[in-house]
Each structure stands twice: as structure tokens, then as C-alpha cells.
Chains A and B, each alone.
Chain A
Amino acid sequence: MTTAELTSSLEPGSTIRRWRLPFSPWHLVLVPLTFVLIVPLLWMVVTSLQTQGEANRFPPVLVPHDPRIANYADAWHTAPFGTFFLNSTVVALVVVVSNLVVCSLAGYAFARVRFLGSKALFLVLMATLMVPFQVTMIPVFLIVKWFGDNVSTYLGIDHLGALMLPNLATAFGIFFLRQFFQTVPVELEEAARVDGTSRLGVLFKIVLPLSMPAMSTLAALTILTSWNDFLWPLIVITNADQMTVPLGLSYFQGAHQTNWPLLMAGNVMSLVPMLVVFVVAQRYFVQSVAGTGLKG
């Protein structure tokens, strides 16, 4: 039998089709595939419900005999998780609001306003996107230290301000919003301009209401980046009162290396806020990543 005949015998209508599954056969691929992808997360949840005795057994106990929810309360009391969450939330909120305001002002100016030097300035700002954070982190440490010594201690090392300052505006945010603003029909703006509305008025009354998808996408990406950042907090924060969630979690891990149920309970708690944000705003994450990817 040639391969062509073999293939045609597998086409719809042949005998194989007779035992039709009540669901698409693809589920037989997708269920195991998805399971493998989320096994690390499932195992984290399982361990977070084990007793320490169960966790230190081999082969592992797959289903905890008597799920120990108290691990969560223990983790919450062992380390100041409440403080970590509050710090991460405050930093993320300030950074998101600042990025939305500052980047939309600049993005709009670069998209619509003609001013001397705009092209050169835009190129210079975009060039910073090429620079790895590792190049700038040592000087930024010195600059933040300077702000703490000379402007306000709250902006300096070991304060939340140090986590906010370098991230208040990003070249990516400006670029992203500029690209979007350029797609807003210019006729709408011109009509308002003829009526005497100022540039700021046009931005806030016409352009921004039409740009909510782009603003939401930037907000979602900024929250995720800010919340999950680790290297910068590690450099500037040593005081537990000022730690963000990932930094606090890493110290918690260092202090309770062998108490896996406690660690995993802390880990689950630390993941919940971003998982919720991600599922709620999934559309925006997908758009942003897919959008940048396709423009290559």
C-alpha cells in the first residue's frame, strides 16, 4: 500500500470514524498537555496543605491525608506578609498611575504635536530601550542614594520611594502609547481644536477615552512588571518593613528552607494577586504580547 492510499484510508468516512468519541479527540492531547504545564503550580498547592511530616516522606504523599489549611495562617504570622502585600501594592499603584499620566502626555506630544527637536528627542529616549538594566543599575543606585541624602529620605535607599523613582516613566510606555495615539482619527481632534479646545483638553476629552484598550494594556503590563520585579528591590531594600512580595518571599525562603508546607503556603499567597490580575486582564496581556510579537 502506498502512503497516499494509507492516508486516504484514514480520511473521514472510513471505518475508524465509526467509534466516534462523544468529544473532540483533541481533548485527549490537551488535557495531559495542560496538566504537565500546571503540575508545578498544582504541586505547590498540594504541598501547602501537607503537614511537615507528610512533606518529608518519599515517595511523596500525593493527596494530603488531612489538608492543613493552618499552614496559611502560620505563614502569614511567621513573616510580615501583610506588609509585603501593602508595599507591593503601593509601589505598583504609584508606578502605574505615574506611567499612565507621564507616558500619555509624552506619547501624545510625539504622536501629534510638531515641535522643534521632537524627532531627535524621541530617538534618544527610545535608545534607552536597548540598554540592559545591569548597565544602569549601579549608577541608578547612586542617584537614588543622592535623592535620599539631598531631597527626602523617603526617596532614598531602604524606602519605598527608591522602588518607585526609577520606574515612574518608561520609554516603552511612551513608544507604546504614541503608536496607539497615531491610529486615532486626526479629524476628531481637528474639529475640537477649531472649537478652541487646548491640546490637553483634546488629549483628555477625545484621545484618551478612545485609547482605553491601550491604556489598560499598559497598566496591566506595568502592574505585572512592578509586582514581580526582584533584582532592583534586592539591591536597594534590606529592611523587612520596606520589602515587596518577591523580596520578602525570598527572605522567607532563606529563613525556613526546610519547612516546605509553610514556604508553599507563603508562595501560594504571594501568587494570588497576580494570578487574579492576569486572569481578569488576560485579554490585555495577550494583545500586548501578540501585538509586539507580530510587528517583529
Chain B
Amino acid sequence: MSVQASGQDAAATQGAARPGWVGRLRRSEGATGWLLVSPGAILIGIFGLLPVLMALKLSFQKSDLLTPDTPWVGTKNYRQLADDPRFAEAIQHTIVYTALFVPGTMLVGLLVAAALNRSVRFISVYRTAAYITMAVSTISEGIIFLWLTDKDYGLVNATLNAVGISSQPFLASTSQALYVIVAMTIWGWTGFAVIVYLAALQGVPSELHEAAAIDGARPFTRFRTITLPLLSPASLFLLVWLTINALQLFDEVYLTTRGGPLHATTVIVYYLWDQAFVQFNAGYAAAMAYVLFLVSVVLTAIQFRLARKYVHYS
């Protein structure tokens, strides 16, 4: 495909495979190609690439975002991160959140998709209802769950009382708030996970199930030995995608708890935003962002490594 694939061999094969006019056109194509990609390349260059380098530079500087004076501080920001108890706390909260949110969403998505993977009447209505959380903004979701879990008037506490459990403080409690955020974000991502799993389930050939059923395999055995392995590409995709998003949790925390009570829900990105745009320690926040970047790259690499062993592409 590449132009650099020059040399006599390439020229000979291309000449044989394609009529002469392509060769003539190709010589004048360079300008056209660059012209077509330039708007996109310039925009992504300015707002996607340049900032990556600027953030790296910023992470070795002290900046308050306002004054143009940004003195170099060497590795001070990174060293400070290592000794910051609030950053350690934020990492811990992010790990707990991710470890619960990712498998939780995958499990809920799989169960709902399995229930929806059949042809009964009104199935498209059921499916739309399950997908719909994908259209709900994180802010709407936060407001809804703030109200559902309200400690005095919430529907969840009313339900708990009805089955004999006393009212819980939920988001007002340092020990429960993070788990409420796990629950609300699982709900918010259910639509997405269901779409992914349902598409994958529809790709499982029914002949395999029929053959196994004739051999006497029961539904659960068939699900475990046929369906789950065939779903593994979809599971890998969700694992990677949900993990990346879990590490970037911010909106729901901002709306419901502002990182509280007593920092109990301060996750990495919330702390980062607070440092950059509330405390105006932009250099420190940039260093934090780079640590986050590194962690997500390493995690993704590990997940793809594991995938080699467990993921089957049919």
C-alpha cells in the first residue's frame, strides 16, 4: 500500500496488476492526499497532539493557569505525588470503583442480553427499554440517583423499610457513598453493555446449541461451554473499554458528592480536576494526568495479553 514500497519488484507487480493510468495519476496524488487530510490533521494536531507534549512539559513546571510565568521545578511534581496521602487515597478509591464497576456492568449486561436474546412479541420494545440508559447523560443519571437514594425521602430506603431493613444514609455516608456511585454508573452503562453482548449473542450459531442439546448438555452447561467462549471478543472489548472509562470517572462524583463525604469518593480524575481548576496547581495536575495515562496504557496492555489466552475469535 505504501508509496515507499519502491524498488523494481514493487514497480513490476504494481505495473502488472494495474493499468497504466493509475501509475500516471499516482504521481500527482501526493498533493491531493495531503490537501484532503490537512483539515483533520491540523485540528487533531492542535487539540490532540500538541496538548500531549504541552502536558508533559507542564508536568515539570509550576503553573497556576493564569500568570504566564511557569518556572521549571524538575521532577518535584512527580516526587510530590508519591508523598501525597490524598493522591494515594484517590488511587485506592479508583481501584475499588473499577474493580466493582467493570465486572458488575459486564455481568448485568450479559444477563440482560441473554434474557433479550429471543424472538417473542414486543422484543424490540424490551430491547429499546434496556438500551435507553445509553442516551441518559451522566448528570441526569446523577440527579436521579441522588433522589432515589435520598436518606429521608428516597425510594430505595422506602423499599428497604418495606422488607424490614432500616434506612441507610447512602451518599451521605463515608462507607457507602462509593458503592452507590458504583451502582448508579452500572445502571448508566447497562444499555451499552447490553448492545455489545446482544450483538455477540446473535452471532452464536444455533446449530452448536442444538447439537450439544442432542448430546444431553443442559442449558447452563451449554451456556458455559459454547456461548461464553464465543462471547469472549465482546467481553474483552467491554473489559478494556469499561476499564478506561472507570479510571476516568468524574461527572457522577462531581454531581452527587463533590468527592465527599470526607474525601470518601475522591477518585483520581476528581482530585486532578480539583488540583488543576480549583486549587490552580496545573503542573501538579499534569503530572497526575501522566501517571493516569501510564496506568491505563499498562492496564490495557495486560488485558490484551491475558486475552491471547482466553479470547477465541471464531
Q: Which of B47, B130, B137 contacts A228 (CB 8 A)?
A: B137
The interface bits of chain A over 111-139 (1 if a CB of B lies within 8 angstroms of the residue's CB, else 0) are 00111101101001100101111111111
Given contacts A34-B130, A58-B153, A102-B39, contact A139 B116 (CB under 8 A): no
**Please, which residues of chain B bring their CB within 8 A of the CB of A219?**
none
Given contacts A24-B120, A113-B33, A231-B251, contact A260 B39 (CB under 8 A): no
CB distance from A294 to the nearest CB of B (A): 6
Q: Which of B49, B148, B272, B313 contacts A40 (CB 8 A)?
A: B148
Q: Which of B54, B120, B157, B272 contacts A142 (CB 8 A)?
A: B54
Q: Which of A109, A224, A290, A295 contacts B195 (CB 8 A)?
A: A290
Chain B, range 269-283, C-beta contacts under 8 Å to A: 269, 272-273, 276-277, 282
State whether A139 touches B55 (Cβ < 8 A).
yes
Q: Is B305 engaged at the interface, CB distance under 8 Å to the other chain?
A: no
State whether A37 touches B237 (Cβ < 8 A).
no
**Please, which residues of chain A bring their CB within 8 A of the CB of B121?**
23-24, 27
CB distance from A205 to the nearest CB of B (A): 15
With both beta carbons as reference points, the residue of chain B lying nearest to A118 in the complex is identified as B33
Please report whether the interface of chain B is mostly helix, strand, loop or mixed according to DSSP.
helix
A274 and B115 CA atoms in complex are apart in Å by: 26
The interface bits of chain B over 236-249 (1 if a CB of A lies within 8 angstroms of the residue's CB, else 0) are 11100000100110
Q: Is A43 engaged at the interface, CB distance under 8 Å to the other chain?
A: yes
Please report whether the interface of chain A is mostly helix, strand, loop or mixed according to DSSP.
helix
Interface residue ranges, B against A (CB under 8 Å): 1-4, 21-22, 25-26, 29-34, 36-37, 39-41, 43-44, 46-52, 54-55, 58, 65, 112, 115-116, 118, 120-123, 126, 128-141, 143-148, 152-155, 157-158, 161-162, 187, 190, 192, 195-196, 198-200, 203, 216, 218, 233-234, 236-238, 244, 247-248, 250-251, 254-255, 269, 272-273, 276-277, 282, 285-286, 289-290, 292-293, 296-297, 300, 311, 313
Interface residue ranges, A against B (CB under 8 Å): 4, 7, 23-24, 26-27, 29-30, 33-34, 37-41, 43-44, 47, 55-60, 101-103, 105-106, 108-110, 113-116, 118-119, 121, 124-125, 128, 130-143, 165-166, 168-171, 174, 190, 193-194, 199-200, 224, 227-228, 230-231, 234-235, 245-247, 249-250, 253, 260, 263-264, 267, 270-271, 274-275, 277-279, 282, 285-286, 289-290, 292-296
